[in-house]
Amino acid sequence: MDWLEELKAAFAQEFAQAADGAALEQLRVKYLGKNGRITKALAEPGGAASAEALLEIRKELNTLKKAAGAEISVKAEQLRQSAIDAAELQTPRYDTSLPLRLEKGSYAPITLIQREVEAIFESMGFTVEDYAEVTDEYNCFEALNIPPYHPARDMQDTFYLENGQVLKTHTSAAQNTIMRKYGAPLRAVFPGRCFRNEAIDANHDNTFFQMEGMMIDRDISISNLIYFMKIMLSEVFGRPVKVRLRPGFFPFVEPGFELDINCLICGGEGCPSCGHSGWLELCPCGMIHPNVLRHGGIDTEQYTGFAFGLGLTRLAMMKYGIKDIRDLNSGSLKVLAQFV
Ligand code: FA5
């Protein structure tokens, strides 16, 4: 049958040309989808002279359908794997079994990633702000809509000083001061060291870094938030990164989200660095709660804003392939001197 040979040849040619996952998906829809060419041909195979010939055509079409489906799946998996391999080649890896080379000084990985993220946000009109490591309960909790005795305080158990001050548990502790300093409109990021009374494992430490971001202006919405996060992550990793947004509860945002990225250490398969889930919780975020804006002296009739709390330490782990967070605070030059 001419049309059947032509159909096979057309598929083979387009299959050979499909160079990425999206092109393969288009091909699958075009040939095997509900209205796909092979599907349609199976439903109405034209040109058969007899019942036996019709049977033969159907048999050939079914073989073609099966083979096409399998070829597309295999090639899609190969392309996915080679994209991961290529990305891994680009990712600097550290190896603690290498001899220590100290010909020149080097920056700690957190410093490197912090500067990189700051530069990305500065290029988008954000200022970079500094904030103390020791603060008070008002800034760390109350100004963030977490009154004393609210159960949300349990989420961030911290270290109290004898004078009643606290080591800041999150960079959100600076939000109020920065709102009061600049008023609205405002675009700022503020990196900082945070402290929590935590059970320590491969991706939790009691001392780690976050980078907070806030944008307050007229008509700011969740779309602005997603846009800035995607730009930042694709710049940091130099390629598109798979992210997912889940609803998340933080008293200082409404609505609130958890932004997770696909674990780049295991490619999403699951490993100790991502708690075997394939995803790494990286950046909670949301629209700033009106109570928080009011505490900061912002007119909530005129302004809205988003805030995010990027886990800078975890971002460094993903970027540099550091499997255990404890290496970062280890003080070991065998680890830290590998990043130039
Ligand atoms: C917060 O700290 C909120 N302040 C973030 C926020 C800001 C939400 C603005 C909404 C608006 P969370 O406790 O989930 O949220 O911590 C934020 C990120 O810090 C986490 O996603 C994670 O990447 C990092 N992080 C938290 N705890 C640890 C830890 N013990 N070790 C290393 N990284 C941590």
**Ligand 1 mean position to 308 CA, how many Å?**
9
Give the residue extent of every domain in the chain: 2-90, 109-336
For residues 284-302, average pLDDT: 96
Assign 266 a pLDDT band (cuts: 50, 70, 90). confident
Domain 109-336 has CATH 3.30.365.10: no
Least reliable range by pLDDT among 177-181, 206-210, 332-336: 332-336
From atom 22 of ligand 1, which residue's Cα is the shortest distance away?
A: 311
Q: Ligand 1: residues within 6 Å at CB? A: 170, 172, 196, 198, 204-205, 208, 210, 212, 250, 253, 256, 281-282, 284-286, 307-309, 311, 313-314, 325
For residues 277-302, average pLDDT: 94
| CA 331 to chain centroid | 28
Looking at residue 93, its pLDDT comes to 62
Assign 90 a pLDDT band (cuts: 50, 70, 90). low
**Ligand 1 mean position to 284 CA, how many Å?**
7
- Please report the sign of the dihedral spanned by the C-alpha atoms of residue 26, residue 32, residue 37, residue 38: positive
Q: pLDDT tens-digit profile of 135-191?
A: 999 999 999 999 988 887 877 788 889 998 999 999 999 999 999 999 999 999 999
Average pLDDT for the chain: 88
From atom 19 of ligand 1, which residue's Cα is the shortest distance away?
A: 311
Residue 95 has pLDDT above 80, yes or no: no
For residues 253-270, average pLDDT: 86
Task: Please list, in sequence order, all residues whose beta carbon lies within 8 angstroms of the beta carbon of residue 285, skipping any fewer than 6 positions away.
Answer: 225, 229, 253, 256, 257, 259, 306, 307, 308, 309
For residues 266-284, average pLDDT: 83
How much of the chain exceeds pLDDT 90, in percent?
A: 54
**Ligand 1 mean position to 304 CA, how many Å?**
22
How much of the chain exceeds pLDDT 70, in percent?
A: 96
For residues 185-214, average pLDDT: 93
More confident residue, 250 or 47: 250
Least reliable range by pLDDT among 71-80, 110-119, 261-270: 261-270
DSSP 172-210: GGGHHHHHHHH-SSEEEEEEEEEE-----BTTB-SEEEE
For residues 230-254, average pLDDT: 85
Q: How far is CA 68 from CA 42, 54, 129, 190, 311, in A?
A: 14, 21, 56, 52, 44
What does the block give as tokens for 127?
């200022």
Residue 86 has pLDDT above 70, yes or no: no
Residue 89 has pLDDT above 60, yes or no: no
More confident residue, 214 or 159: 214
**Ligand 1 mean position to 290 CA, how many Å?**
21
> Cα Rg for the chain, rounded, in angstroms?
27
Task: Please list, in sequence order, all residues whose beta carbon lies within 8 angstroms of the beta carbon of residue 44, skipping any fewer than 6 positions away.
Answer: none
Distance from C-alpha of 137 to C-alpha of 217, rounded to nearest angstrom: 27
For residues 75-103, average pLDDT: 71
Least reliable range by pLDDT among 94-98, 192-196, 269-273: 94-98
Burial class of 103 by CB neighbour count within 10 A (0 to 12, 13 to 18, 19+) = exposed
Residue 294 has pLDDT above 60, yes or no: yes
Burial class of 280 by CB neighbour count within 10 A (0 to 12, 13 to 18, 19+) = buried
